[in-house]
Amino acid sequence: MAFMTLASLGELPEGGQLRVDLEDRTLLLVHLDGTIYAIDYHCTHDELGLEGGDLHNGCITCPYHGAEFRLSDGEVLAPPAWEPLQTYTVTVSEQLIQVDIPQ
Ligand code: FES
């Protein structure tokens, strides 16, 4: 486990989305209904960005072709994607968003 601080809570208000570029991957942080989620930035359908996708019922809808992913575990709930999205464990400590990035 290697938790990295990626943002502060102040940067990610309720309903917000934040792109984070790391050395070897790009993540999207999402704040929905009081929970912070960390998912891969790129959709598993066509590798386009999920940023700006509609958020509802714990899910994000890809803005390009409408695939829907569950934020908690990346499961695909609507096509055309069929591969799940990578998700990451998040903790919030002293207003800092920390994400477990596999080494
Ligand atoms: S790129 Fe996301 S549904 Fe096609």
Residue 9 beta carbon below 6 angstroms from any ligand 1 atom: no
Residue 65 beta carbon below 6 angstroms from any ligand 1 atom: yes
**Does 3-95 carry CATH code 3.90.1150.10?**
no
- Tell me the per-residue pLDDT of 25-35, one tens digit each, with 9 for 90 and over: 999 999 999 99
Residue nearest to atom 1 of ligand 1 (CA): 46
Give the Cα separation of 7 and 63 in Å (integer). Answer: 24
- Tell me the per-residue pLDDT of 58-76, one tens digit each, with 9 for 90 and over: 999 999 999 999 999 999 9
Residue 53 Cα, ligand 1 centroid: separation in angstroms?
A: 10
Residue 67 beta carbon below 6 angstroms from any ligand 1 atom: yes
Residue nearest to atom 3 of ligand 1 (CA): 65
Would you state the pLDDT for residue 103? 81
Chain centroid to Cα 89, Å, comes to: 10
Average pLDDT (80-100) is: 97
Q: What is the pTM of this model?
A: 0.96
Three-state SS string across 35-87, please? EEEEEECECCCCCCECCCCEEECCEEECCCCCCEEECCCCCEEECCCCCCCCE
Residue 98 Cα, ligand 1 centroid: separation in angstroms?
A: 27
The two three-digit tokens of residue 63, written as one number: 């803005």
